Structure 1
Amino acid sequence: MQAGVETVLSCPLRILMLSPQYRPIVGGYERAAERLSAALAARGHCVTVIAERRDKAWPAAEFLEGVSVRRLWCAYLPRLHMPTALISLTLFLLTQGRRFDVWHVHQYGLHASLAVALGRLLHRPVVLKLTSSGGQGVARATAAGRFPSLSAALLRRVTAVVALSRETTGEALAFGIPPERIHHLANGVDTAKFRPQSERERYELKQKLGIGLHRAVIYVGRLSHEKNPDGLLHAWSKARPLLTADWKLVFVGDGPMRGELESTVRANGFEADVLFAGQQSRVEQWMGAADIYVSSSHREGLSNTLLEAMASGLPVVATRVSGVTELVKETDAGLVAEVGNMDQLSRALVMLAGDGLLGAKMGAVGRQVISKSYSIESVAARHEALYLSLINASSALRQSNSSRPTEQLKTAAHLPHPFSVLMFVPQYPYPVVGGLEKQSHELARALAAEGFPVQVVSGRTARGQPCSDVVEGVSVTRISWPRRKLCRFFRAPIDVARALWRRRRSYDVIHLHQHSWVGLYVILLAKLLGKPILTKLPNVGDLGLPGLRKQAFGWLRHAILLQSDGIVAMSAQSLAELDYVRYSRERVLLTPNGIALREMSVRMATEDLSVDACQVVFLGRLSEEKQLDVLLDAWAVVCNDGTHEASLAIWGEGPMEHALKQQCVDLGIDTRVKFAGHVGSAASRLAEMDILVLPSRAEGNSNAILEAMAAGLPIVSTPVGGTPMLVGDLGIHFLFRPGDVHTLSVVLLRLIKDRSLRLRTGMAMRRRAEQHFDIQDVARTYATAYGLLAAGKRDLIGKASNPVVLEGS
């Protein structure tokens, strides 16, 4: 199985998730579908979710956590909802279903039957997830729906079934699905997000959430009849007189029974003992503040909240519904009551509330069970293996997505004369030195060093810049670049056209480094001149293709960009965005940014270890997307720890500098933070530091991270863009979610206090940079792609790709 997973990582799958209800609708199977989709996308796969657009206010298309979400039109009205939803789904699957390698259907119903039928027609494997059992199991739900005989016949022909528990497995067998098609795969849980809390953390969360000094029994779920919250209140009324005064029952969730439950609480005088928290987006905080988890459901599939509670280290009291026996009873992670027996449930609550040692032991067992078998990473890996086995891992699929050049590729890249490249970079060093400008210059230098003729056309952005120049061996032509945007809008296209026309015989390929409006004009000029053009996508999300569509005339700019003969993607997310707009994979070059390793100083592990002070550095522009306010909040926590000496240096300039300095004063950390402004030769000075921190909410392939890796520093950053790929398997342990102050402070303190860990990790980063990100190797990848374009073989440039781009798990 493991070998299969490794194959997936080098050949990403195109996975279609069919989930009629998806965000913003929040329920059990919706959350499970969302979690699995995001985990598969993080592992490098191209995941698209199809859902219903029941409200015009919901976007028809968006990009969430690396997943493309398409909401199909339906008339959400009685008698019209199902027919219109099925028509939209049919049209989508018939026109675009072949783009995907496997279809995964979440929840059964007519849409599942339709997907099975069309999957067989289009020769696509279909996976059906059985999300519940008993009264909502596949047999009874199908029998109670429309066209029961036809639906049942189709569902029995599904390629594979995912069963969440032994109960759902038995029901699938009884329904008539052959055992070889049934796969026992559970839901997964984010074990980093849902984790046991220290006593101090639990106390702080209780104060924050209004629980105060009470100990809490927590219920998380919809307040509806199948969840039996009224039965839980009945059990609580019996248990409460036997508990100490500091216990409180907390309902997290909303639903049609809330009013009835609140009336019952008032009628019985329980207002001080019961808290209705309503719908909450940060469920992990409520789990962290609780002491016992309780579930009183009449039926479940495999409860997500049960998994989350166990991951949070809570002892469990639950009714014996699907999955509870094997998860709770057989592992001793909690106590189990029979369905509907609220007396048993009440006695279990009293037992756990009165025995703290037993509860702590059960909570620890539950956490161990979840970490071992139910983490979202391991669940996603098992789904990868299932998908790959269904697709049969044919050699045709592997070859179509192969990342290494073949003999045909090498032959096609060979030209009877050396080809030359013209790069267009709106701003080129120097004096403008940003990430994009650095990378374009490093690549141009490396290509020149390999013997390829390279010239650059750029804007004259500063006074005194010559119109023609040679910068470290690279020929640069600078055109007029007025400071006023309106003047530039009319002047720049004329000068760009003149420059490209005059030099048309001196270059074979155009490389565009930025899809600004001037860059898109370059694409049109390349088409008029008959020159192949390779366009680089420097970023993702709002700064990538999805963001381009939101700009003025976004549809036009988007259409022009897709006319490029080839596009460079630097991360799995960027590839997913291209997949979403149906850009041919054969014309996508996967390659990371590179770094001139031979010019970088390295922090050696033999340095003086008697120095206690740890120097943490941020390198970049002081702008909103870098989220430096989050870093400063975390740094305040680090400073308050008081068990170390550490300083934070902020290298860079930008519009937020004044606000950030004021924040330091407000937090009382201004003496522990140094704003250095623009630092010349920052790359060479990184070897003097100990840790690089980059809390950005958006990145492509960060030059700061590459430079820090080359300098031998550990990286603390967010898992955005290509960052997980850059830092690799070891480095992902030091990544944190954008905006997560707590995790950032914990990771920083861990590295600050452990010098040996810093040095080991830093040396591993240097080795990874040497292995994958040397600029000379990157330049050779580009040279192969240029050769193919110049030879008219644009459909082969995908074969020149570097497979490291798809790493990130």
Structure 2
Amino acid sequence: MVKDQSSNMPSFRYFCSFLVFLSAISSVSFLYWSHYSNSFWFSQEDTTELQQNEAINLLSYPKAWNHLSFSSNPPPKLLKIAVFVKKWPQRNQAGGLERHALTLHLVLAKRGHELHIFTTTSLNSSFPKYSLTNLHFHLSKPTAAGYLDQAVVWKQFQNQNSTIPFDVIHTESVGLLYTRARNLTNLAVSWHGIAYEAIHSDIIQELVRSPDESRSYALTERTIRVVEEVKFFPSYAHHVATSDHAGDVLKRIYMIPDERVHVILNGVDNGIFKPDLKLRKDFRKKFGIAESSTSLVLGMAGRLVKDKGHPIMFEALRQIFEENATFWKSVYVVVAGDGPWGDRYKNLGSNLLVLGPLEQSQLAMFYNGIDIFVNPTLRAQGLDHTLLEATVCGKPVMATRFASITGSVVVSHEMGYTFSPTVASLKEALYTVWGDHRKDRGAIEQKGEVARQRGLKLFTAMKMGAAYERLFLCIASQSQVDKKNGRDDYCRYLPSDNIAILDQ
């Protein structure tokens, strides 16, 4: 239908082409901006604001809230929070959005807030149980497409809201549709990927398409989706972008007012993901990886599917193994996850180890056992949790040169490597890492330490949870202005009031 429409409307095709061009310009400009601003933004603790000790209006704060330090004391007020999420994580099968929901809301529940999770029942396994008495689940059958049944969850929400009203409502992406959300002023939506970012991914997918595959019309469809999002996104009161780049797009391209867009980077549990020499030794012993000064262990984790970049990673490794016997003998590649590319990796040789999906504790052992983490994703959306898990474990990372990654995670060569999503560029990066490791293994380890220190500053679960907690307190109190002081304190940030850093 979309194809026919565009073919009969040349002006619409031109509009699609313009948006694609605009997407490319936006990504390039953001990369240029982030390259020259990261040395200031990310190496200092927002010196100007903090040194002046002047109050900051958090709702118009332009950077990621992770850069601010909020008190580790008990929260000044306990909130009743409604959470809408399409799917709650089931053991080791969780995607990025589900892992974010689990990590964030467990932190908030442990902080004492009352959480009501509106989500779908699991058809294949029993629903997980938690000992927290302030964590409540309201389950419903998913629609045929796997989404929340909006009529059912809305009725569940109204029943809970009629007794003691919710202080704040949080929807993970479109868990709660805009048609229900547009009249809720105390609502925040977290975006883990938006259609405008995905245009870059669609371009890459078309470039890596093999000649025997049919051409995709995703670009035309995505352009229409962008237009739809620009129209309905303003229906949500507050927006949380999980990467610096997404926040920039929401403000400039989607034209959402600055004071309604807040950047809070994803966080991971650094109590689980942390350097551990014993785990490293146990991992290498278990899988027969020799501890040698010349051997290099590369690791990948996640779904082993096309859009995660495994076609270009497979081809890059295949070519290198064929042309360089020394590389083949000295490099191990360990893959955690499942998917169609798992069996193909096994065919590359005995030094390709495919472990299947892993639990969190097993993933922690995996990260400790490798030398460098590789993420060849072709998806230019969101902030991949595996990158953050690897960094807080003290590992340097190799990742695709997408704006969300270079703008928020691999912000300099001091903590890792980046490459374009092509076989040639990935091969060059792999050879560079291999050469650096052979020349000076300590330099690789130093990159990992730099990555870890930045990860502890920005990417811990508590850092993320503290930022969301403060945002929720701010949103909830906007309609309950402090009558004693005549102002809303939770939306104002004073550095002197937040001496303790949560993740220290």
1:367 pairs, out of 445, 452, 475, with 452
Structure 1 residues 179-218: aligned runs within 5 Å: 179-198=258-277, 200-209=278-287, 211=289, 213=291, 215-218=296-299
Q: Which amino acid aligns with 1:182?
A: V
Q: Which residue of structure 1 lines up, in the alignment, with residue 391 of structure 2?
A: 310
What is the deviation of 1:67? 6.2
Q: Distance in 2 between matches of 1:265 and 1:231?
A: 16
Q: Which amino acid aligns with 1:382?
A: A
Mapped contact 1:8–1:384 kept (Cα < 8 A): no
Mapped contact 1:220–1:252 kept (Cα < 8 A): yes
Matched pairs, number: 388
Q: Which amino acid aligns with 2:386?
A: T
Q: Distance in 2 between matches of 1:46 and 1:138?
A: 38
Q: Which amino acid aligns with 1:74?
A: K
The DSSP-based 3-state class of the residue aligned with 1:317 is strand
Mapped contact 1:143–1:149 kept (Cα < 8 A): no
The DSSP-based 3-state class of the residue aligned with 1:235 is helix
Q: Which amino acid aligns with 2:267?
A: G
Q: Distance in 1 between matches of 2:414 and 2:437?
A: 16
Q: Which residue of structure 2 lines up, in the alignment, with residue 72 of structure 1?
A: 139
The DSSP-based 3-state class of the residue aligned with 1:243 is helix
Change (3 A) 1:3 1:232: closer
Q: Which amino acid aligns with 1:288?
A: N
Q: Distance in 1 between matches of 2:161 and 2:426?
A: 48
Higher relative contact order, structure no. (Cα contacts within 8 Å, ≥ 6 residues apart): 2
What is the deviation of 1:48? 2.4
Mapped contact 2:88–2:98 kept (Cα < 8 A): yes
> What is the CA deviation profile of residues 86-117 of structure 1, one whole-angstrom value per residue up to 9, with x for unaligned ones?
222222233324632111111237x3424423
> What is the CA deviation profile of residues 161-187 of structure 1, one whole-angstrom value per residue up to 9, with x for unaligned ones?
111223212221212211221111100
Q: Which residue of structure 2 lines up, in the alignment, with residue 128 of structure 1?
A: 189
Q: Which residue of structure 2 lines up, in the alignment, with residue 116 of structure 1?
A: 181
Structure 1 residues 754-773: aligned runs within 5 Å: none
Q: Which residue of structure 1 lines up, in the alignment, with residue 250 of structure 2?
A: 172
Q: Which amino acid aligns with 2:373?
A: Y
With structure 2 as the length reference, what TM-score do the two structures score?
0.68
Q: Say whether residues 1:87 and 2:151 are aligned partners.
A: yes
Mapped contact 1:315–1:366 kept (Cα < 8 A): yes
Q: Which residue of structure 2 lines up, in the alignment, with residue 279 of structure 1?
A: 357
Q: Say whether residues 1:236 and 2:317 are aligned partners.
A: yes
Mapped contact 2:345–2:354 kept (Cα < 8 A): no
The DSSP-based 3-state class of the residue aligned with 1:245 is helix
What is the deviation of 1:13? 1.1
Q: Which amino acid aligns with 2:126?
A: W
Mapped contact 2:243–2:382 kept (Cα < 8 A): yes
Change (3 A) 1:306 1:188: same
**Gap regions ≥5 residues in structure 1:** 400-728, 734-808
2:111 pairs, out of 43, 46, 51, with 43
**Gap regions ≥5 residues in structure 2:** 1-57, 59-67, 203-217, 485-498
Q: Which residue of structure 2 lines up, in the alignment, with residue 329 of structure 1?
A: 411
Q: Distance in 2 between matches of 1:97 and 1:210?
A: 56
Q: Which amino acid aligns with 1:320?
A: R
The DSSP-based 3-state class of the residue aligned with 1:325 is helix
Q: Which amino acid aligns with 1:329?
A: V
Mapped contact 1:297–1:319 kept (Cα < 8 A): yes
Q: Distance in 2 between matches of 1:95 and 1:142?
A: 42
> What is the CA deviation profile of residues 32-80 of structure 1, one whole-angstrom value per residue up to 9, with x for unaligned ones?
1111111111222122222112417534x843666625253225536xx
Q: Distance in 2 between matches of 1:190 and 1:68?
A: 19
Q: Which residue of structure 2 lines up, in the alignment, with residue 350 of structure 1?
A: 434
The DSSP-based 3-state class of the residue aligned with 1:72 is strand
Change (3 A) 1:146 1:50: farther
Change (3 A) 1:74 1:219: same
What is the deviation of 1:223? 1.0
Q: What's the C-alpha RMSD, in Å, of the aligned pairs?
A: 3.7
What is the deviation of 1:391? 1.5
Mapped contact 1:38–1:66 kept (Cα < 8 A): no
Mapped contact 1:18–1:104 kept (Cα < 8 A): yes
Change (3 A) 1:151 1:229: closer
Change (3 A) 1:7 1:349: closer
> What is the CA deviation profile of residues 641-687 of structure 1, one whole-angstrom value per residue up to 9, with x for unaligned ones?
xxxxxxxxxxxxxxxxxxxxxxxxxxxxxxxxxxxxxxxxxxxxxxx
What is the deviation of 1:246? 3.9
Q: Which residue of structure 2 lines up, in the alignment, with residue 33 of structure 1?
A: 101
Q: Say whether residues 1:293 and 2:364 are aligned partners.
A: no
Mapped contact 1:62–1:70 kept (Cα < 8 A): no
The DSSP-based 3-state class of the residue aligned with 1:9 is coil
Change (3 A) 1:63 1:264: closer
Q: Which residue of structure 1 lines up, in the alignment, with residue 130 of structure 2?
A: 63
